[in-house]
Amino acid sequence: MDIVLQQLITGLGIAAVLLLVALGLAIIYGTMGVINLAHGEFVMLGAYGAWVLNAYFGLGLLASLPLVFLGVAILGWLVEKGVIRHLYERPLDTILATWGIGVMLQQIVRLTAGGELRYVQMPAALGHSTTILGVDVSAYRVFIFLTVVVLFAVTWLLMYRTTLGMKLRAIVQDRSIANCFGINSGRVFGLTFAYGAGLAGLAGALVAPLKSVSPEMGTGYVVDAFFVVVLGGVQSLFGTVGSAFLLGELTGVIAYIRNDTIAKALVLLAIVVLIRFRPQGLFAVRVRS
Amino acid sequence: MAAKPRSIRIGRAHIQVLVYVTVCIAVFLLPSFIDNDFLLNRIARYLVLSILAMALALSWGYAGILNLGQALSFGLGSYCMAMALKLRTVPVHTGAEGLPDFMVWNNIETLPLFWQPFYSLTFAIIAGLLVPALCAAVLGWFMFRGRITGVYVAIITLAALVVGNLLIIDQQPYTGGFNGITDLAQLELFGFEFDAYSSSTYYLVASGLSISLLTALAITRSKTGLILQAIRDQENRVRFFGYDVAAYQNFAFSVSAAIAGLAGMLYTVVMEFASPTFLGVPLSLAVVIWVAVGGRQSLLGAMLGAILVAGMQGALSESETFLDTWTLIMGAMFVLVVLFLPKGLAGLVDIVRDRIAGARGRPVDDEESAGDGAAAKTAGAAQ
């Protein structure tokens, strides 16, 4: 029983990080149809942002979160205005262009901050571990879990309870009609992309204390996050939560039975099979195309 | 007058075949101007990579299948050749009783069953073509029968590549794991020895290149090639005409994999080892870049793209100043090409040709290229 519970909570930890990274991607891909392969690099930039603010300005991790969010969001906005904006007619090409952007960001960081591993300190107040249902869990993991819940709630409110969200949903339904009603779709897309990028930055800053920070760290995240989004169903925020939970638990369980490599391979195979039979994702909602 | 556009088109077809044959001949003539075995080996390496790029152009540019896992076929071919050459090394290098050294280190007692047939070089060469093709055929059957298109094809092929890569690294006792398969014997075919640093290997690569390029050209110029392009542009219309779309897609996908497998085999001969990086995600994405830069809808363009980008990378990363900035330049170049030259450098040729034609006051486009443009637009919208 203890092992099951332990596994469940380990899986939840993996799922929380997955969801954190995937949330921004889900918004960008789900609403704009842009496959943003630079997402991993936004995550990486967030982590470096936290490191720079910590090492040079003495800011604690929690204090640097808003700044990181803002910084990466502005960068995302610039990327949308400079490149993505021209590619809405050619969605497959966004894969290529954003990958190129990712390569550039990675190399810029490597040139300026150096290729060596960096470490970000955990907030002192969260360094201990607590006991939940008889299982030891690091307090920081719990903090990440709660943050993800809050971020998800904020995102949901933004999408379904604000004017911006309503405009965005109108554009997703039919862009030209939305334009006719006086919605500035270019501006809304710019803001959406910026918000998604900002979320990725936050994710990077939050996972920075768990793992070492390096220019290549984003690559692994983007692949996993992408699978979460595809599995969850492109336009469904709750689907993203469901698939993050599923993938997290699945990875945890298989890794426990076999090893990490086999776990990864099996999860990938499961996803391939799933895409084949349900390309719209597990939890898809019906939308007009 | 009505016959005139037709005669122009036939002329263009002849010119295309002529250009392709000339390129093949030029590739064969090159060693007579180069007296440096090291340089020749380097060039052979880029030529092999250009075959790989050409294979991707066949499936991506002509059939619209963006295969992000092209390196999987390449790697499988490479490993088939490496396994055969490993078994041919002198026993000193291969541990006790002719067992490959890494198996001895991993406490394997007897040669695994799937290694046995590789004692035969003929088997290995056939396997190097068929294993990638069959893997692709199975994956293709799985995808195309389910009418998976566009982005999802990219995701599935990428996932397949990652799975293949993970398995090869994980199964160290049978594949050499991270280190790959090293210390290989020299390839011997029809009594010739193919030393990697000699013109014989170069000619082997040149033959492989010519055969695969002309085969691919024949496919694209055939009726099948036309149907493939139609599927790329408007899949459903082709389906309504009664064509078996999945079968055509699978054909292009498998032939492309076989050519990539051939490139992989040649790469092992040129590099003298096989490594899991040959089926890594970075290489696979690099191939996509080469093809995008060179021109995805031109076999020759894709090859030139590979030689240009990979060659520039090789040359620039040797000098200290460019070692770090190279990747930056490549990323920027890539973004610019995607933004401004969706048809790659080969598209430049079309633009220049149309300009010249336009300057002469002739109708700028004949039917063919006008159709291309419109088709490209609808394809973009459909994706």
pLDDT tens for each residue of B157-198: 988 898 898 888 888 888 888 888 887 777 777 777 777 778
Query: By percentage, how much of chain B surpasses pLDDT 90?
Result: 26
Q: Does residue A216 lie within any of the structural domains?
A: yes
Q: How many CB atoms lie within 10 A of CB B11?
A: 10
Residues 6+ positions from A149 with CB-CB distance below 8 Å: none
* Cβ <8 Å between A276 and B142: yes
The verdict on residue B364 lying in a domain is no
* B339·A83 Cβ contact <8 A: yes
The pTM score is 0.81
Mean pLDDT estimate for chain A? 83
Q: What is the DSSP letter of A31?
A: I
Report whether pLDDT(A17) > 90. Answer: no
Phi, psi of B192, rounded to the nearest 5 degrees: -95, 145
Taking residues A25-39, what's their average pLDDT?
Answer: 84
Mean pLDDT calculated for residue range A30-51? 87
Q: Please determine, for residue B28, whether its predicted confidence score (pLDDT) is greater than 60.
A: yes
B298: left (phi over 0), alpha (psi -120 to 50) or beta: beta
Q: Give the confidence band of B376 by pLDDT, cuts at 50, 70, 90.
A: very low
Q: Rounded to an integer, what distance in angstroms lies between the CA atom of residue A145 and that of residue A151?
A: 10
Beta-carbon separation of A261 and B166 below 8 A:
yes
Q: Which residues contact A61 (CB under 8 A, 6 or more apart)?
A: A50, A54, A120, A121, A122, A123, A205, A208, A209
Indicate whether A283 belongs to any domain.
no
**Res B366 pLDDT > 50:** no
- Is A258 at the interface with chain B, CB within 8 A? no
Are B74 and B135 a contacting pair, CB within 8 Å? no
Adjacent-strand bridge partners of B189: B192
Beta bridge partners of B186: none
Instruction: Name the token pair of B53.
Output: 């790029």
A142: Cβ–Cβ under 8 A, 6 or more apart, which residues?
Answer: A130, A132
Asked if the model's pLDDT at residue B18 lies above 80, the reply is yes
Say which residue, B202 or A286, is predicted with more confidence.
Answer: B202
Q: How far is the alpha carbon of B98 from chain A, nearest alpha carbon, in Å?
A: 30
* B203 token code pair: 């000619």
Kindly determine whether residue A107 and residue B285, on different chains, have CB atoms separated by under 8 Å: no
Residue A85 inside a domain? The answer is yes
Whether B373 shows a pLDDT value over 50: the answer reads no
> Is residue B332 a contact partner of residue A100, using CB atoms and an 8 Å limit?
yes
B61 Cα to chain A: minimum distance (Å): 13
Question: Residue B54: which pLDDT band, with cuts at 50, 70 and 90?
Answer: very high
Give which of B102, B379, B210 is closest to A93, Cα–Cα: B379
CB contact under 8 A, B332 and A100: yes
Residue B345, pLDDT > 90, answer no
* Angle at which helices B70-87 and B281-294 cross, to 10°: 120
Cβ–Cβ below 8 Å for B163 and A275: no
Tell me what percent of the residues of chain B surpass a pLDDT of 70. Answer: 87
| pLDDT the model gives residue A283 | 67
Name the residue among B163, B208, B180 with its Cα closest to residue B52: B208
Per the structure, the count of domains in chain A is: 1
**pLDDT band, residue B19 (cuts 50/70/90):** confident
Q: Is residue A62 one of the residues assigned to a domain? A: yes
Given this model, what pLDDT does residue B49 score? Answer: 93
pLDDT: is A85 or A30 the higher one? A85
**Closest Cα partner for A118 from A53, A213, A47, A209?**
A213
If you ran DSSP here, which 8-state letter would residue A285 be given?
P
Shortest distance, CA B364 to any CA of chain A (angstroms): 25
* Residue B227 scores a pLDDT above 80: yes
B138 vs B164: CA distance, rounded Å: 14
Q: Averaged over A53-75, what is the pLDDT?
A: 86
Q: Which residues of A touch B66 (CB under 8 A)?
A: 92, 95
Distance CA B46, CA A243 (A): 42
Closest B-chain CA to A99: B331
Predicted pLDDT at B377: 42
Q: Give yes or no for B311 touching A (CB within 8 A).
A: no
| Amino acid at site A149 | V
The question of ipTM being above 0.85 is answered as no
| B328 and A CB contact within 8 Å | yes
Residues of A in contact with B285 (CB under 8 A): 99
Helix (H), strand (E), coil (C) string for B82-117 = HHHHHHCCCHHHHCHHHCCHHHHHCCCCCCCHHHHH
Is pLDDT of A36 > 70?
yes
Read off the CATH number of the domain in which A69 is found. Answer: 1.10.3470
| Contact between B183 and B101 (Cβ < 8 Å) | yes
Indicate the average pLDDT of chain B. 82
Beta-carbon contacts below 8 Å between A and B: 111
CB contact under 8 A, A87 and B338: yes
Tell me whether B335 touches chain A (CB under 8 Å): yes
CA-based angle B84:B87:B93, to the nearest 5? 135
Tell me whether residues A104 and B66 touch, CB distance under 8 A: no
Confidence of residue B379 (pLDDT cuts 50, 70, 90): very low
Q: Chain B contacts of A93, Cβ < 8 Å?
A: 338, 342
Q: Position B366: which residue type?
A: D
Amino acid at A246: L
In a domain, B14, yes or no: no
For chain B, the farthest-separated pair of C-alpha atoms sits apart, in whole angstroms, at 78
Percent of chain A at pLDDT exceeding 90: 16
Distances (CA, A) of B277 to A230, B99, B173, B208, B341: 27, 24, 18, 22, 30
Touching check for A176 and chain B: CB below 8 Å? no
pLDDT digits (tens, 9 = 90+) for A141-169: 888 888 999 999 999 999 889 988 889 88
The pLDDT, as a whole number, for residue B93 is 64
Q: List chain A residues with CB under 8 Å of B152.
A: 230, 275, 279
The residue segments making up the domain with residue B161 are 36-280
Nearest CA-CA partner of A52 in A105, A113, A107: A113
Is B84 a domain residue? yes
* Domain-located, residue B190: yes
Q: Considering CB atoms only, which of B142, B285, B338 is closest to A97?
A: B338
The reply to whether A211 falls in a domain is yes
Rounded CA gap, A184 and B34, in Å? 61
- State how many domains chain B has: 1
Query: Do A168 and A188 touch, CB atoms closer than 8 A?
Result: yes
Q: Do A269 and B148 touch (CB under 8 A)?
A: no
The mean pLDDT value for B220-224 works out to: 91
- Contacts of B356 by beta carbon, 8 Å cutoff, 6+ apart: none
Residue with more model confidence, B146 or B213: B213
Domain that holds residue A103: 1-277
Q: Pairing state of beta strands A135-138 and A129-132?
A: antiparallel
CA distance B151 to B62: 16
Burial class (CB in 10 A: 0-12, 13-18, 19+), A88: middle
| B97 CA to centre of own chain | 37
Q: What is the dihedral of CA A239, A243, A246, A251, to 10 degrees?
A: -170
Is the pLDDT at B339 greater than 60? The verdict is yes
CA–CA gap between residue A157 and residue A227 (Å, rounded) = 24
Residue A2 CA to residue B32 CA, distance in Å, equals 74
The pLDDT assigned to B372 comes to 43
Judge whether B308 is closer than 8 Å to chain A, CB to CB.
no
pLDDT at site A286: 53
Alpha carbons within 13 angstroms on the beta-carbon side of residue B210 total: 16
Residue B71: predicted pLDDT: 92
- Give a yes or no: residue B134 inside a domain: yes
The segment with the largest mean pLDDT, out of A18-32, A109-123, A242-256, is A18-32
* pLDDT, position B190: 79
From B265's Cα to the closest Cα of chain A, the distance in A is 25
**B125 assigned to some structural domain:** yes
Among A100-104, B174-178, B273-277, the least confident range: B174-178
d(CA A124, CA A127): 5
Q: What does the pLDDT read at residue A193?
A: 92
- Mutate which of B59, B151, B320, B378 to disrupt the A interface (most A C-beta within 10 Å)? B151
Across residues B242-253, what is the average pLDDT? 92
Chain B touched by A102 (CB under 8 Å): yes
Q: Does B23 touch chain A (CB under 8 A)?
A: no
**pLDDT bucket at B1, cuts 50 / 70 / 90:** very low
Distance from CA of A205 to the nearest CA of B (A): 24
Instruction: Determine contact, residues B106/B172, Cβ cutoff 8 Å.
Output: yes
3-class DSSP assignment, residue B146? coil
